[in-house]
Structure 1
């Protein structure tokens, strides 16, 4: 937690430094504006740049937040599908239940203990988890219903097995997607050009404070975009909470009679 806070402070401090540095650079090149003639044009330019810059940040921030929340939703959907197959196996029959439930239990263990972390390092799903999923899929396919009830349960299990596969693919895509370098170029360019446009204003305490506030707030938004763009790594790591809860539920003994 401490490292995340320090990284955030460094991120925000960096944008403040960039803002002030380019403000002073432009003022050094252009000199002061004692007559105030440059302020009107500079203000109009800054307003247009800041509007486009704010729009870009808002769109990308919203996109990353949606994808972050979508990953959370998909992980819950996947965990629910696993639970449905697990308990449907119990409803189907005593002989078919043990191998299916054991494979699903091991699957959830792999997701929690290995796969979630590997998505943050390699961006790829675990082959072992896929093998457990395939084991379950093959066993459900091999079921031979003897009545309408078993047929209905088998169909429901197959639908949920496919739902698990779909959610897995979406989890992998969420891990490999990242913010384009073009965005970072546009975001940093916007900060620089806005800072350049304020050169007609003298570097007194109030103006420098306002420029620092502009840089700090921009840095906060950029930090959030960076954080949410990689949900499997700090600083905004999304935990496999749904799978952890499911693992606890499956590991706990059933209530007695």
Structure 2
């Protein structure tokens, strides 16, 4: 099911539940009820709880967005390092250069076409990807430069392989969900409390009040969806992409290509 369809259903369901409760609750109120009798302390507490929950939502969104940005940056660093390895191999003999570039292409192809789906589905990297990167490392480190010109490229290439390995490790750390379960419990409980408190203000069945109640509940549902979508940097619709690999290695087929 599409993430956007999930969002639409969640927002519609939140609106429907809130509006249904408002209508049912309003039918039980007598004609002599005066909504202006709501104690000031209830209005104050409702406002304060809403402000506190808004701060919590803002921090949660900032946290998961930072995690997604870090995940995308690790992908960029990994792709750039491998591109440097492939480019710097130009000064080495043709057979060595061809072997290194073939190993780099094999690794990138595996990451884009296979490992990316594994990260999305299971939140982990593949053993084959680790083996392919190790092959790149061996192709670079096992060669002995024949002269000073070739030697000048040797250490930078070894360093770039190390950068790619480090970026891959960072990608592994970001592959799964980043938000702990206890935080999700607090976010959902806070949403229920915040939406539930609007009923203490004795809202009526006027179009304006029903519209505001529906929009408020839909906004809460949207913000929770936004946190959920960013929570797994590689696993959901608003996720990090393999575009850095595809941009630097345009001859590699993309996902589903």
User: For the aligned residues, what is the CA RMSD?
Assistant: 2.7
Distance 1:178 1:146, change over 3 A: same
- Alignment of 1:170 onto 2:170: yes
In the TM superposition, what whole-angstrom CA distance separates every residue of 1:202-223 from its partner, at most 9, and x where no partner exists?
Answer: 3222222111111111111111
SS class of match (2:119): helix
Distance 1:22 1:175, change over 3 A: farther
SS class of match (1:175): coil
Deviates more, 1:189-198 or 1:39-48: 189-198
CA distance in 2, matches of 1:221, 1:35: 30
Task: Give 1:143 deviation, angstroms.
Answer: 2.2
- What's the counterpart of residue 160 of structure 1? 160
Structure 2, gaps ≥5 residues long: none
Contact 1:19 1:191 in 2 (8 A): no
- What's the counterpart of residue 227 of structure 2? 225
Distance 1:15 1:186, change over 3 A: farther
CA distance in 2, matches of 1:156, 1:16: 58
User: Equivalences for 1:71-220 in 2 at 5 Å?
Assistant: 71-198=71-198, 199-205=200-206, 206-220=208-222
SS class of match (1:176): coil
Contact 2:100 2:139 in 1 (8 A): yes
CA distance in 2, matches of 1:81, 1:91: 17
How many pairs does the alignment contain? 250
CA distance in 2, matches of 1:248, 1:90: 18
TM-score w.r.t. the length of structure 1 is: 0.86
Distance 1:44 1:85, change over 3 A: same
CA distance in 2, matches of 1:154, 1:9: 54
Contact 1:33 1:201 in 2 (8 A): no
- What's the counterpart of residue 14 of structure 1? 13
Task: Give 1:249 deviation, angstroms.
Answer: 4.5
User: Equivalences for 1:8-47 in 2 at 5 Å?
Assistant: 8-20=7-19, 34=34, 36-47=36-47
Contact 1:82 1:104 in 2 (8 A): yes
CA distance in 1, matches of 2:95, 2:81: 21
CA distance in 2, matches of 1:25, 1:153: 76
CA distance in 2, matches of 1:226, 1:96: 46
TM-score w.r.t. the length of structure 2 is: 0.86
Task: Give 1:150 deviation, angstroms.
Answer: 2.4
Contact 2:22 2:205 in 1 (8 A): no
SS class of match (2:235): coil
Distance 1:233 1:177, change over 3 A: closer
In the TM superposition, what whole-angstrom CA distance separates every residue of 1:6-63 from its partner, at most 9, and x where no partner exists?
Answer: 2111122233345446667888999996273434111111111111110111011011
Distance 1:4 1:197, change over 3 A: closer
Structure 1, gaps ≥5 residues long: 252-257
Contact 1:19 1:212 in 2 (8 A): yes
